[in-house]
Structure 1
Amino acid sequence: MIQNKGEMTVEEVRLNEGHAFLKGKLQADLLYVGEEDGRIYSLSANLPMEETLNLDGIVNGDKMCLKWEIEDLSIHIIHSRKMNIKAVVTFFASVDELTGVRLPVSLDDETVSVQKKTMRVLSLVIHKKDTMRLKEEITLVSNKPNIAELLWYTTEVRGLDLRPEENSVKAKGELFIFALYTGDDESGTLQWIEHSIPFNGEVECSGCISEMIPNLEAAVINQTLEVKPDADGEERKLQADVVLELDMKLYQEEDHEVIMDVYTPFRQCMPKGRKEILESLLVRNFSRCRIADRIEVKETQGKILQICHSQGKIKIDKIQIVKDGILAEGIVRLKVLYIVENDEMPFYSMEAMLPFSHVVEAKGITENSVYYLHTELEQLSTTMVDSNDIEIRATIGLNVLVIQCSEEMILEKIEEIPLDQEKIRNMPGITVYIMKPGDTLWNIAKKFYTTVDEIIQMNNLDGDEVSSGTPLLLVKKVEE
């Protein structure tokens, strides 16, 4: 066995009270050397999958976000005609619940004074899923023979950049394609090509504007590579068809002048409200982590003649909030296909793991913050140092969106009760008050049954900003 790969497809999702029923298949592919003739072959097997996820509170009709990851795929030979295939697939399911919060920003009664606070509130404006299809063609160079049989291929999307625009989300990146095939020449030689194709695309997103705060994620849900004839009818073209699923969340941040307290010197107002969790943007940050390592090839495999292809996948093992940042620890799983000086077994594949640890800066983050961390393998290069060692360099992109959550008392209604006439009669009609640190004209006016405008007019002030130690003449407005 040279190399294997797996692809999970979920064909059906049914939600019921507290459960999600999944149905699909796992396609396992194997590249191997035949026992008798020593030729290289490939085969595919489809394993049916049915799984039930226990999700407390979920009901039919909820909008569930489902992701999955093949944690481990192992293929073992039982004998030359039979194999054992095992896989561990981890499913991640979540349901977002949206709650509308009414913010009091105005009061009809002009006799009632209001105290306002400027709040910057982040709200989810758009949440939708859509697919983007990438179709690209590769034509073989003139010194390559025609394709007799396509044995193996991989497709990867790297450097993906998703941006909101007017009524659309635009994407650009590179599609990396590797294909191993037998040529139609007399000896049926093994050939391979490695090609990168830049692409641009977009999906419709009604209501989207470029100023929105994006939380965009993409995943490959289907990929195929087919052999196509050229204009002369010769099998010299490869057509890649890749389907990306985009999970698009777009936020908008607005400032609101929210009423926090009310009073009037003529009535006793009792504000009533409830505590709400409001969200605001703390930080958006894009960071890169560069890692490098040198791997020694086992002596039993022979000396390396040439590296054919390498691919990698990021696995995050730990995410932790640290001081002014988010610590991400994980590994890059690597597969390297190469040729050795062994005519009976010319191709070998090795797997390796590159650990990494990186802190994405996020000043002000706390345990109460909500964050979304997306990782991407932006660059991967494998180079022969000598016939026994391979140098690997990788660049990981870490994109984080941090939302600050704060608890605020939001007014719902105002109850009026009679004034305490005994208290009012015991207060002087005119008094002088010395401003103290932390005092505001609002609090003073409320305490002494007057208004902010009355204090400003009586003391010839330019505004409501008064320094500590300033004497103020106060006149009680309420009549006993």
Structure 2
Amino acid sequence: MEFLKKSIHMDQIGCEEQTQITLEDDVNIADAKPDVYQVVTQQGHIELEEVRASDGHVHVKGVLHFKVLYLADEETHHPACMEGELAFEEQILMGSVSGTDQVQAQAILEDLSVGMINSRKLSVQALLQIRLFTERMKQLDVAVGLDGTEQIEVKKKDLQALDLIVAKKDILRVKKDLLLPGGMPNIFALLWKSCQIREMTFRVLDGKLQATGELSLFFFYEEESETKKAVWYETTVPVSVAIECQGVREGMLEQIGCSIGHLEIEAKADEDGEERVILLDLVLDLDIRIYEETNLSMIEDLYGVAKQADVVRGKGQYRRLLVKNTAKTRVSDQFSISPGMPQIQQICGSFGEVFVQEIKKQSDGVLVKGTVNVQILYESAEEEVPCGCLKGELVFEE
């Protein structure tokens, strides 16, 4: 007599470790760049180049890419931009990891500050959070029936579980040429550029995933004129892409992480030779998990009618979907200009980065707490200091 089995697949976190890395260095302004009069704002992103496990620890190597918007120490104090990078290499203790484990890594830039040492040198300080974890794919075999002629009575129990169908990493590439509107001046030099994922949703179809969303783009540039006045342009780019994904069907459940992995924004000439085209080349990193809800009638117990039947039981874990929900929350507050900062003439662009600090299960739902770090780039009312940046933190709880 043999058991008839049904297999359920799932993903499990093996071991996990989280640590913070502090970076600090002095950076010289390139000779081709003007002297610094005042730092306006800064932004950065982390690129992990190598994650290698050995017994008891993980070797992490990467680069912090940063750029700084500042006012030039010249007669007009016009905006200028410089870029740089800080390399880092760390050995992180991770007790139960071995050299054969595949370790996943996630890096978050928690804080970045740039100070002025002198007109040709800046101080860069950054706080990085690195999360390391191993992931194991498990198969749970569940007895659902008997194949044989012996007289056996069985007691069954309904089991509702999630079966992991697809677990993979992929990329979504967005490459577009954006033409400036007719009323905007030609581009002489791009000073500041920002791309944020405004919204991205995924839907499982037969043999593919449908990604639909919107990117928010902001450009701050010097116009092509004698005055080299700084102007800005903001736009949105719709995204609608089908991603091949074998083995999936419509109605399956998706859990997909999406983040910007590579970003290039450059100005180029149009058909008339004028710098009016902005080239966007964006790569989104996707962490794809596709599940299917499976209903089983499993054998919970049995006994032999004609003779003794010995039962051998084993323990197993499985995933079950309790609720699937998407929620939004509105966060608002007021910020004031600090003493010594130029007054606001007009807001150019606003940018926010969300940091989730706590996720807590409650009897009536899930409590999510965190902050939104906000930067507001604005045109100044003072001719001597043409622009400024207002920064603040919004706290949310939903």
TM surpasses 0.5: yes
Asked if the contact 2:143–2:299 (Cα under 8 Å) also holds between the matched residues in 1, the reply is yes
Aligned residue for 2:312, secondary structure, equals strand
Alignment TM-score, normalising by the size of structure 2? 0.86
Deviations 1:33-71 (A, max 9, x none): 112331211001111121223223333453433211101
Could you say which residue in structure 2 is the equivalent of 1:171?
211
C-alpha distance in structure 2 between counterparts of 1:141 and 1:70, whole Å: 34
Deviations 1:66-110 (A, max 9, x none): 211101111111111111111111111222212212111122234
Establish whether residue 316 from structure 1 lines up as the match of residue 356 from structure 2: yes
Asked if the contact 1:18–1:55 (Cα under 8 Å) also holds between the matched residues in 2, the reply is yes
Establish whether residue 36 from structure 1 lines up as the match of residue 74 from structure 2: yes
Aligned residue for 1:270, secondary structure, equals coil
Deviations 1:284-323 (A, max 9, x none): 1111111222222235334321100001011112221111
Aligned residue for 2:334, secondary structure, equals strand
Higher relative contact order (CA 8 A, sep 6+): 2
Could you say which residue in structure 2 is the equivalent of 1:74?
113
C-alpha distance in structure 1 between counterparts of 2:203 and 2:91, whole Å: 35
Q: 1:182 to 1:348 in 2, by over 3 A?
A: same
Provide structure 2 residue ranges, at least 5 long, that are not aligned to the other structure: 1-38
Among candidates 269, 272, 291, match of residue 232 of structure 1: 272
Amino acid in the other structure paired with 1:65: Q
Aligned residue for 1:286, secondary structure, equals coil
Could you say which residue in structure 2 is the equivalent of 1:65?
104
Could you say which residue in structure 2 is the equivalent of 1:445?
none
- Aligned ranges 1:192-341 → 2 under 5 Å: 192-298=232-338, 300-341=340-381
C-alpha distance in structure 1 between counterparts of 2:160 and 2:145, whole Å: 17
Establish whether residue 145 from structure 1 lines up as the match of residue 185 from structure 2: yes
Among candidates 27, 45, 49, match of residue 11 of structure 1: 49
- Aligned ranges 1:131-142 → 2 under 5 Å: 131-142=171-182
Establish whether residue 97 from structure 1 lines up as the match of residue 164 from structure 2: no
C-alpha distance in structure 1 between counterparts of 2:281 and 2:104, whole Å: 24
Aligned residue for 2:271, secondary structure, equals coil
C-alpha distance in structure 2 between counterparts of 1:59 and 1:205, whole Å: 31
Aligned residue for 2:340, secondary structure, equals helix
Could you say which residue in structure 2 is the equivalent of 1:26?
64
Amino acid in the other structure paired with 2:223: G
Q: 1:278 to 1:143 in 2, by over 3 A?
A: closer
C-alpha distance in structure 2 between counterparts of 1:61 and 1:234, whole Å: 55
Aligned residue for 1:284, secondary structure, equals coil
Alignment TM-score, normalising by the size of structure 1? 0.72
Asked if the contact 1:138–1:238 (Cα under 8 Å) also holds between the matched residues in 2, the reply is yes
Asked if the contact 1:135–1:241 (Cα under 8 Å) also holds between the matched residues in 2, the reply is yes
Deviations 1:95-148 (A, max 9, x none): 221221211112223411111112112222210001111112221122222111
Asked if the contact 2:54–2:98 (Cα under 8 Å) also holds between the matched residues in 1, the reply is yes
Could you say which residue in structure 1 is the equivalent of 2:386?
346
C-alpha distance in structure 1 between counterparts of 2:281 and 2:84, whole Å: 21
C-alpha distance in structure 2 between counterparts of 1:20 and 1:233, whole Å: 51
Provide structure 1 residue ranges, at least 5 long, that are not aligned to the other structure: 359-480
C-alpha distance in structure 2 between counterparts of 1:103 and 1:296, whole Å: 62
Deviations 1:392-431 (A, max 9, x none): xxxxxxxxxxxxxxxxxxxxxxxxxxxxxxxxxxxxxxxx
> Which 4+ stretches in 1 moved above 6 angstroms?
none
- Aligned ranges 1:113-128 → 2 under 5 Å: 113-128=153-168
Deviations 1:431-455 (A, max 9, x none): xxxxxxxxxxxxxxxxxxxxxxxxx
Amino acid in the other structure paired with 1:163: R
Count of aligned pairs:
358
Offset, 1:324:
2.6
- RMSD, aligned CA: 1.5
Could you say which residue in structure 2 is the equivalent of 1:85?
124
Offset, 1:249:
0.7
Offset, 1:271:
0.9
- Aligned ranges 1:322-471 → 2 under 5 Å: 322-358=362-398
Amino acid in the other structure paired with 2:302: V
Return 91-100 or 247-256, whichever deviates more. Answer: 91-100
Q: Which has the higher helix share?
A: 1
Q: Which has the higher strand share?
A: 2
C-alpha distance in structure 2 between counterparts of 1:150 and 1:196, whole Å: 18
Aligned residue for 1:262, secondary structure, equals strand
C-alpha distance in structure 2 between counterparts of 1:138 and 1:191, whole Å: 17
Q: 1:51 to 1:164 in 2, by over 3 A?
A: farther
Asked if the contact 1:310–1:335 (Cα under 8 Å) also holds between the matched residues in 2, the reply is yes
Larger Rg computed on CA atoms: 1
C-alpha distance in structure 2 between counterparts of 1:349 and 1:303, whole Å: 10
